[in-house]
Amino acid sequence: MIIGIIGSGAMGAGIAQVVATAGHTVRLLDQNADALQRASSSIQANLTKLTEKGKLSADDAAASFARLRPTRDIGSFIDCELVLEAIVEDLAVKQQLFRELEMLVPPDCILASNTSSLSLAAIASACRQPERFIGIHFFNPAPVMQLVEIIPAVQTRTGLAEEVRDLVQSWGKVPVLTKDTPGFIVNRVARPFYGEAIRILEEGIADVATIDWALTELGGFRMGPFALMDFIGHDVNYRVTESIFASFFYDPRFKPSFTQKRLFEAGYYGRKSGRGFYDYAADAIAPEPNRDEALGRTILHRVLAMLINEAVDALALNVASREALELAMTKGVNYPKGLLAWADELGPATVLQTLDALYDEYHEDRYRASPLLRRVVRQNQLFLRHEPAAQQ
């Protein structure tokens, strides 16, 4: 299979490495010759590291690199069977790209976008054959992260999502099907991990270091929300939050914070700029958390309740299946366990009590419990297991 990748940035190069290693000829397109050279060098270096670690033989690494065909000519896509774009998150730019692409590729070539936040239906609307268009959303770094979200647009032909899912699975990835809704699964469900942590900070309940400590040491998350936002970069994380908030018709559950907006406006993007919620200067002293376990548990359960509620609501609205929701959060953002499993472990009634207590305190719609959560509690059920919930 000949696959075209458009965009040779970190994401495009990573995807190109994945499909070349899986045995496909890859045409990697970028108009910038220097960017193409950097991408080729990066892929070669990554393949070399894999051989050094014993994860890939020298022959397989050489063959994989030989299948990579960097190009600045979109005309070379004339024989591609799948083309995936990984360019700037700009709807007009993507639409124009697919208008041009359709004039070149065969009529049965699958057209795909790696967008993380834009409407697939809107991108597909620019195509003469929108039925062959689909979303294939990788996570960065693509060679390492297992999860890939498969998102059919309303125009996508029946059966294409399943075909693409099987193809992606043959690449050694974990594909999940999801509806074309803002943020898909991961970027939708994960919003409270950041937003509620910032809210706890803004209220003065705990400082940055303490909240991160509670989520990592008590909750088992690999990174705390503030360390993770600094790692992602506030230029990225804040914009995604703002985009999802607008896309959900300004639903208060996704409301951005002024605290993060001010960091974004100041250019304090996190690690990349040397300052974010933490100071990354060489002589900076890392703040010490307050290791009070009762406080930590309060913080953890508040954030968890919000995360679980978002996963439950996504299930209620048929955004994705139970299995897809669990895989997305464990394989896509490395949560220590799936949120539905976590709900069962804590007890749905306990989660509901936490949310209702927050709503009673604040009377804000951000704390409204999903109707499905209420229904599960009322029926004394669990989300993943079939036995009745334990009495709380």
Same domain (yes/no): 348, 215: yes
Confidence band of 174 (pLDDT split at 50, 70, 90): very high
Average pLDDT over residues 112-128: 96
Average pLDDT over residues 124-147: 96
Average pLDDT over residues 264-279: 97
The values of phi and psi at residue 127, to 5°, are -90, 145
Same domain (yes/no): 157, 213: no
Helical H runs in the chain?
Answer: 10-21, 33-52, 58-66, 91-102, 120-124, 160-170, 186-189, 191-202, 208-213, 225-232, 234-247, 258-266, 293-316, 322-327, 339-346, 348-362, 371-378
Same domain (yes/no): 150, 32: yes
- How much is the pLDDT for 385? 74
Same domain (yes/no): 82, 165: yes
Of 380, 370, 320, nearest to 344 by C-alpha is 380
The residues near 49 (Cβ < 8 Å, ≥ 6 apart) are none
pLDDT at residue 133 greater than cutoff 80: yes
- What residues act catalytically? 116, 137, 149, 187
Average pLDDT over residues 205-225: 98
Residue after which a domain boundary falls, among 155, 180, 205: 180
As a whole-number percent, the residues of the chain with pLDDT over 90 amount to 97
CATH of residue 120's domain is 3.40.50.720
Give the type of residue at 337: K
- How much is the pLDDT for 388? 59
Of 83, 149, 90, 155, nearest to 121 by C-alpha is 155
Same domain (yes/no): 176, 190: no
Confidence band of 389 (pLDDT split at 50, 70, 90): low
Separation CA 40–CA 65 (nearest Å): 8
For the stretch 315-367, pLDDT in tens is 999 999 999 999 999 999 999 999 999 999 999 999 999 999 999 999 999 99
Q: Which domain holds residue 198?
A: 185-392
Average pLDDT over residues 154-181: 98
pTM of the model: 0.93
Same domain (yes/no): 56, 111: yes
Same domain (yes/no): 27, 72: yes
Number of domains in the chain: 2
CA distances from 82 to 47, 359, 392 (A): 23, 48, 52
- How much is the pLDDT for 392? 44
Residue after which a domain boundary falls, among 180, 199, 219: 180
Same domain (yes/no): 165, 251: no
Give the type of residue at 4: G
The residue whose two tokens read 């000829």 is 25
For the stretch 258-268, pLDDT in tens is 999 999 999 99
Same domain (yes/no): 261, 116: no
